[in-house]
C-alpha cells in the first residue's frame, strides 16, 4: 500500500528535471484535457523536453491554459504555432477529424509530431499520411501515433508471457461509465470522426492485434449500440467485434463510452458501469511430459489476465493461470484437476522509475527517435495504417459509414 501511495504521489507531483540547452521544444495544438497528463506532466521529468507554446481556437482559453500550466508562449492560431521556428515538435490531440489536416501541416513545417490516437479518420487518410514523402528522407520529421500503453514495462512483461502461436482466444475491453462523456461531446460527432470504436475501441482493437502479433484474416461478427434517438445514428456509443487470426485463434473486443448497468441486480440498471480495462489471453492445451500411467495424459491450459492494461502506472495486475488436468486417454475421463495461479506486476523498466507513466515512457522513445538513438517499443506508420484498416472494416461490417475524410482526401 505504501508503494502504491508513493508511486501515485510521484505521478501527480513529479519532480522537475533541469532542462538541457538543446531540449526539444514542444508546442500544443489546442488547450486539451489530455495534454496535462500526456505531455505536460511527462515533460517535467524529461531533461530533453520543454513544453514551450500552445495555441487554441479561443485565444482567451489558450492564455488561461498557458498560465495554469506555466507555458511561456501563446500563439494566436494553430498555423502561427507551426510557423514558429523555435518549435521543434507538435502534440496533436485535436478532434479526430482534424488529425490529418494539422499533422500534415506540421510535417510540412518540418515539425516532429506526437499524434493522439486514432491517428486519422479512416484508412485512406492513414495511408496518405504515413506514406507521405514528407516522412521518407533520412532527416524527415518523426511521426508517432500515441498508443501510450504499449510503452509501459507492464505491457512488455505481458508480451513476454504469451505464446502467440498457441493463443486460442484473446479478449480486451474498455468501458467508460455513463456521465463521463456527454452526448454532446465532440467524440459523439460523426463529422469529427467520432464514435466508440474511434475512441475507447481503439485500445482493445490495438491490443488484440498486438497480442496475436499479426493482422486478422476475417471480421467474423460485430455489434453496436447507436446514439439515442434524435442524435446522429451514424455514431456508435458502444461497439463489439470478433476476428479470426492466421493461427486459427479468435480475438474479441468490447468498447463502450457511455456505459450503464451490467451489475448483479437489475436494481442498479441505469447506474454508471464501473469496470477495469481488462484483457484475457487463453492458450490452447498442451501436453505435459512426465511419468504417467500408459492410459492417462496430463494437459495444461494457460490463461493470462491483465487488469488495467490502459493505465498500468496507477495500478495493474497480471494473473497467470495454469489449469492442469489428468485424464484418461480413451474416454477423456477426468482423474485429477488443479489450478496454479501467479500474480505479477511490472512498474520499473530498463530506464526510469516505477512512477513513470505510460506517457512518460512513450515520450522517452519519441525523443530517442528524434535524436536518432536506439529505441525500444515503437509504433511505425504501417502499424497505424493497419489499425485504421481494421476500424474501417469493422464499421463496414456493422453497416455504418466509414468516418469522413477531411481536406478532400
Cell of 204: 482493445
Residue 241, helix vs strand vs coil: strand
CB atoms within 10 A of CB 109: 17
Residue 159 in contact with residue 213, Cβ under 8 Å? Answer: no
**DSSP labels for 304-333?**
EEEE-SSSTTT--EEEEEEEEEEEETTT--
- Residue of 129, 101, 97, 127 whose CA lies nearest to 235: 97
CB atoms within 10 A of CB 297: 17
Strand spans (E) along 32-134: 49-55, 73-75, 89-92, 112-115
Residue 303 in contact with residue 323, Cβ under 8 Å? Answer: yes
Cell of 220: 467474423
- 73 forms beta bridges with 53
Separation of alpha carbons 147 and 169, rounded Å: 23
Q: Which residue has the cell 491517428?
A: 119
Q: Which residue has the cell 499533422?
A: 103
Question: Quick check: is 117 catalytic?
Answer: yes
What are the φ and ψ backbone dihedral angles of 61, each rounded to 5 degrees? -65, -40
Residue 334, helix vs strand vs coil: strand
Which residues are CB-neighbours of 389 under 8 A, at least 6 positions away?
123, 126
Of the listed 44, 105, 111, 117, which one is catalytic? 117
Q: Which residue has the cell 489449469?
A: 323
Separation of alpha carbons 167 and 60, rounded Å: 52
Active-site amino acid positions: 117
Amino acid at each position: 500500500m505504501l508503494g502504491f501511495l508513493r508511486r501515485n504521489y510521484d505521478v501527480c507531483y513529479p519532480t522537475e528535471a533541469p532542462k538541457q540547452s538543446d531540449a526539444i521544444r514542444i508546442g500544443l495544438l489546442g488547450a486539451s484535457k489530455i495534454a496535462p497528463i500526456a505531455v505536460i506532466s511527462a515533460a517535467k521529468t524529461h531533461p530533453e523536453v520543454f513544453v514551450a507554446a500552445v495555441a487554441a481556437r479561443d485565444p482567451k482559453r489558450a492564455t488561461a491554459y498557458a498560465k495554469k500550466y506555466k507555458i511561456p508562449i501563446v500563439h494566436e492560431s494553430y498555423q502561427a504555432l507551426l510557423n514558429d521556428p523555435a518549435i521543434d515538435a507538435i502534440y496533436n490531440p485535436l478532434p479526430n477529424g482534424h488529425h490529418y489536416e494539422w499533422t500534415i501541416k506540421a510535417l510540412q513545417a518540418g515539425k516532429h509530431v506526437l499524434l493522439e490516437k486514432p491517428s486519422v479518420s479512416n484508412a485512406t487518410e492513414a495511408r496518405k499520411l504515413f506514406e507521405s514523402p514528407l516522412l521518407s528522407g533520412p532527416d524527415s520529421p518523426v511521426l508517432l501515433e500515441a498508443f501510450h500503453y504499449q510503452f509501459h514495462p507492464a505491457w512488455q512483461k505481458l508480451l513476454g508471457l504469451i505464446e502467440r502461436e498457441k493463443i486460442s482466444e484473446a479478449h480486451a475491453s474498455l468501458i467508460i461509465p455513463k456521465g463521463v462523456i456527454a452526448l454532446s461531446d465532440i467524440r459523439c460527432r460523426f463529422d469529427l470522426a467520432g464514435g466508440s470504436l474511434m475512441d475507447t475501441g481503439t485500445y482493445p482493437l490495438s491490443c488484440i492485434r498486438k497480442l496475436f502479433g499479426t493482422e486478422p484474416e476475417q471480421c467474423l461478427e460485430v455489434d453496436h449500440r447507436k446514439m439515442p434517438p434524435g442524435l446522429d445514428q451514424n455514431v456508435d456509443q458502444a461497439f463489439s467485434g470478433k476476428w479470426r487470426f492466421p493461427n486459427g485463434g479468435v480475438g474479441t473486443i468490447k468498447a463502450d463510452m457511455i456505459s450503464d448497468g451490467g451489475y448483479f441486480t437489475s436494481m442498479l440498471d441505469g447506474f454508471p458501469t464501473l469496470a477495469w480495462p481488462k484483457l484475457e489471453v487463453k492458450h490452447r492445451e498442451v501436453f505435459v511430459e512426465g511419468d504417467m500411467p500408459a492410459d492417462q495424459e496430463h494437459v495444461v491450459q494457460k490463461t493470462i489476465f491483465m487488469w488495467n492494461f490502459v493505465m498500468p502506472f496507477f495500478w495493474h495486475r497480471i494473473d497467470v493461470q495454469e489449469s492442469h488436468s489428468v485424464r484418461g486417454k480413451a474416454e477423456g475421463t477426468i482423474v485429477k484437476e488443479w489450478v496454479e495461479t501467479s500474480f505479477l506486476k511490472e512498474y520499473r523498466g530498463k530506464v526510469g522509475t516505477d512512477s513513470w507513466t505510460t506517457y512518460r515512457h512513450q515520450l522517452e522513445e519519441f525523443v530517442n527517435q528524434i535524436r536518432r538513438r536506439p529505441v525500444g517499443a515503437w509504433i511505425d506508420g504501417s502499424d497505424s495504417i493497419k489499425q485504421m484498416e481494421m476500424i474501417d472494416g469493422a464499421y463496414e461490417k456493422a453497416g455504418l459509414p466509414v468516418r469522413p475524410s477531411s481536406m478532400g482526401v
